[in-house]
Amino acid sequence: MKLHEYQAKGLFRDCGVSVPDGIVAETVDEAVDAARRLEDENDATLFIVKAQIHAGGRGKGGGVKLAHSVEEVREHADDILGMDLVTHQTGAEGQTVRTILVTEGVDIEQEYYLGVTLDREKSMNAIMVSTEGGVDIETVAEESPEKIQRVWVDPSIGLQPFQARQLAFAMGLEGDAFKQAVSSIRSLYQAFEETDSTLAEINPLVQTPDGEIEAVDAKVNLDDNALFRHPDLEEMRDLHEEDPMEVKAGEHGLSYIKLDGNVGCMVNGAGLAMATMDIIKLAGGEPANFLDVGGAASAETVEAGFRIILEDPNVDAVLLNIFGGIVRCDRVAQGVLEAAKNIDISVPLIVRLQGTNAVEGKRLLDESDLSLRSAVVLKEAADEVTAALGEA
């Protein structure tokens, strides 16, 4: 689960990371009030108005603006609130901005990157710093990997002070700024651990001309598997940031991702679902979605799956691919027949059932008056997809 910048900053601040003061606003008036408060309480003369969406690249898309007066904050807030912000992560339609963060501006002497994540190869957390702050860290990793320094945290002893010092020295800091950076690193790691994050990132972490270390941006991804022990964090979920069809699918226990192709698919198991998408491409189509029905391919889930797939007007054919283990294929076939009674499946349907009771399942489908193409082995299913697309 992703969090907004303002939510991540709140978590980091609670653990002791120094974050510039900021106030969240959902209307222009609230943004103006926020700026006035920062002016009165902090003597702020410089403000940043920041769109709160989950995608990265907000600045380049026009979602982050500098303001030198309360009046300028009003203008920027008016521009940004309600805009469809397009970044390299949103897709062409963009993401509607419903919330902005108004923060006190910070003078920047030097920008750094600081992040914590899991290193899968070592099964340990890695903390990374780079002197190339404010830049996409993946770009740094590709173009100048020597500019990234990392330490790995042994889970049996946790982060040690010497490791935080190593990183702060690698940032080239000294004096009070060095001490502040060590403290920021330890605080960020504490936030990562306490929230069961899979990613906690400050980019940029800045040094001001006065030698202060501040987190100007913040990003957190939470481990969905650990949300059961963080009800407070689960409440931070913003459904506006998620695809409504994906949310709807989730309510039915389906894992769905919308794609741009013309052949819909419904599969049990994530690996087989990806392989089915690959097969559709090899058969001359393009996958319209990823859809894993999970372990329980019942009549209800199959029907819900069809409804979601068929809501996409680009779909010319649908491939149902089930490898029955615990799931019995005759049950799935009955589910398909029941679902077909309730919804109008107006595109060619290819059903491939294999595994437990596959023969019985195929017989049920073949004997019904439902118009579909059935297959047993994967290659036949692929050929049927090609044939269906040829007729479409």
Partner 1 sequence: MSILVDDDTRVVVQGFTGSEGTFHAKQMIDYGTNVVAGVTPGKGGQTHLDRPVYNTVAEAVEQENANTSIIFVPPPFAADAIQESADAGAEVIICITEGIPVADMKPTYHYVRKKGAHLIGPNCPGVITPGAAKVGIMPAMIFEPGSVGIISRSGTLTYEAVDQITRAGFGQSTAVGIGGDPVIGTRFIDALELFEDDPDTDGVVLIGEIGGADEQEAARYIQDHMDTPVFGFIAGRTAPPGRRMGHAGAIVSGGSGTAEAKFEALDEAGATVVKNPALIGETVKETL
Contact present, 51 and 100 (Cβ < 8 Å): yes
279 touches partner 1 by CB under 8 A: yes
Which parts of 171-230 fold into alpha helices (H)? 175-194
Residue 239 one-letter amino acid: L
CA-to-CA separations, 154 to 19, 127, 183, 224, in angstroms, rounded: 28, 12, 19, 23
Catalytic-labelled residue, pool 6, 113, 189, 256: 113
189 is catalytic: no
Q: How many helices (H) and strands (E) does the chain have?
A: 13, 18
| CB of residue 120 to partner 1, shortest distance in Å | 5
Cα Rg, the chain, nearest whole Å: 26
| CB of residue 141 to partner 1, shortest distance in Å | 5
| CB of residue 271 to partner 1, shortest distance in Å | 2
272 touches partner 1 by CB under 8 A: yes
Task: Indicate the residue among 254 and 279 with the shorter CB distance to partner 1.
Answer: 279
Task: Indicate the residue among 155 and 250 with the shorter CB distance to partner 1.
Answer: 155
Task: Indicate the residue among 180 and 276 with the shorter CB distance to partner 1.
Answer: 276
What is the DSSP-derived secondary structure letter of residue 166? H
Contact present, 392 and 293 (Cβ < 8 Å): no
Q: What residues between 4 and 33 interact with partner 1 by CB under 8 A? A: none
Q: What residues between 141 and 170 interact with partner 1 by CB under 8 A? A: 141-142, 145, 148, 150, 154-156
Contact present, 308 and 291 (Cβ < 8 Å): yes
CA nearest to 213, candidates 188, 190, 196, 194 = 188
Out of 92, 120, 341, 390, point to the residue binding partner 1 (CB under 8 A).
Answer: 120
Q: Which stretch binds partner 1 (CB under 8 A): 27-35, 183-191, 217-225, 337-345?
A: 217-225
26 is catalytic: no
Out of 128, 171, 185, 389, point to the residue binding partner 1 (CB under 8 A).
Answer: 128
300 touches partner 1 by CB under 8 A: no
Q: Which residues contact 92 (CB under 8 A, 6 or more apart)?
A: 86
Q: Which stretch binds partner 1 (CB under 8 A): 101-109, 123-131, 209-217, 361-369?
A: 123-131
Q: What are phi and psi of 214, to 5 degrees?
A: -135, 145
How many residues touch partner 1 under the rule CB under 8 A: the total is: 65
Residue 224 one-letter amino acid: D
What is the DSSP-derived secondary structure letter of residue 253? T
CA 162 to chain centroid = 33
CA atoms 210, 211, 217, 222: torsion sign = negative
299 touches partner 1 by CB under 8 A: no
119 touches partner 1 by CB under 8 A: yes
Out of 115, 305, 335, 361, point to the residue binding partner 1 (CB under 8 A).
Answer: 115
| CB of residue 295 to partner 1, shortest distance in Å | 9
Count the neighbouring beta carbons within 10 Å of the beta carbon of residue 390. 8
Out of 36, 323, 363, 368, point to the residue binding partner 1 (CB under 8 A).
Answer: 323
CA nearest to 43, candidates 96, 104, 2 = 104
Contact present, 241 and 234 (Cβ < 8 Å): no
String marking each residue 226-265 x if it binds partner 1 according to CB under 8 A: x-xx---------------------------x-x------
CA nearest to 134, candidates 65, 53, 192, 216 = 216
Catalytic-labelled residue, pool 201, 214, 303, 384: 201
Which residue ranges make up the site for partner 1 (CB under 8 A)?
Answer: 56, 89, 115, 117-121, 123-126, 128, 137-138, 141-142, 145, 148, 150, 154-156, 193, 196, 198-199, 201, 221, 223, 225-226, 228-229, 257, 259, 267-272, 274-275, 277-282, 286-287, 290, 323-326, 354-356, 377-379, 381-382
Catalytic residues: 113, 201
